[in-house]
Chains A and B, each alone.
Chain A
Amino acid sequence: LAKTTQPISMDSYEGQEVNITCSHNNIATNDYITWYQQFPSQGPRFIIQGYKTKVTNEVASLFIPADRKSSTLSLPRVSLSDTAVYYCLVGDPADMNYGGSQGNLIFGKGTKLSVKP
C-alpha cells in the first residue's frame, strides 16, 4: 500500500518559488504521482501528474528522480492565492478502483502552504 509523507506546513512569500517534497518509498511500478490543491471548504483540484523525470504544465512542475521514491512539486512565483493545502497521492490509474483505498489512492495529511505578502 503506497503511503506518502509530506511536510505538515510551509511558509513562503509572494514571488518566491516553492518546492514541496513528497516521499513515497514503496511506490509500485504502475503507480503514478498526482498532486492536488485544496482551498478551505472546496473540493481538491488537480494540479499535475507524472510517472518519471519531469512534467510541466501552466501551473506547476513535477520532478521525479529515477528511483521514484520521492517527488517534488514546484510552484513558480507563488502568490497569496496559492495559500492552500497540497496533497501528494500515488496510485495506478489503470486500477478500476483508482481513487479509492482499494486503488491505493489515499489522501495523506497534506502540506499547508501559507504565502505571505
Chain B
Amino acid sequence: GAVVSQHPSRVICKSGTSVKIECRSLDFQATTMFWYRQFPKQSLMLMATSNEGSKATYEQGVEKDKFLINHASLTLSTLTVTSAHPEDSSFYICSARGSRASYEQYFGPGTRLTVT
C-alpha cells in the first residue's frame, strides 16, 4: 500500500516557540491531505483539510493563525504550530489520499508534540 511519513516522530519544545511537522506521501501524489489531532484516550479530531496549491480548510474551533498549513507540492504538507502552549501537546496525525477515485486514505505514523 501507499506510504505516508511524518517528521519528526517526537518533538519537545518550549512554550512560545513554533514547531513544524512534515507530512510526505512517499510513493504517490497526494491531492488532498488531512491533519488530525488526538489527545490521550480520545479519538482523532480533524483539524484541517488541505488541497495542493490552495488554502487549507479549517474545522470549526481550529485557529488558522495558530496552526499554519502549507501544501506546496503533491507530496508534502506541513503543519506549523505557532507560539505553542502546553495545551497544544498532543499526537498529530496526517493522512493523504491520491486521486478522486482513490477509495483509501493513508495515514502517517503521527508526531508526538510535547510543549513544556
Contact = CB atoms under 8 A, between A and B. Distances in A.
A54 interface: no
Contacts of A96: 32, 51, 100
Given A98-B105, A99-B105, A42 B110 contact: yes
Nearest to A110: B43
User: Taking chain A's interface residues, is the majority helix, strand, or loop, or is none over half, making it mixed?
Assistant: loop
Query: How big is the B interface, by class?
Result: 20 to 34
A99 B32 contact: yes
Contacts of A97: 32, 49, 57
Contacts of B112: 41
Interface in A17-71: 32, 34, 36, 41-46, 49
Interface in B57-110: 57, 59, 91, 93-95, 97, 100-110
Interface of B: 1, 4, 6, 32, 34, 36, 43-46, 49, 51, 57, 59, 91, 93-95, 97, 100-110, 112
Given A32-B103, A102-B49, 5 more contacts: A43-B109, A93-B102, A96-B32, A100-B46, A100-B57
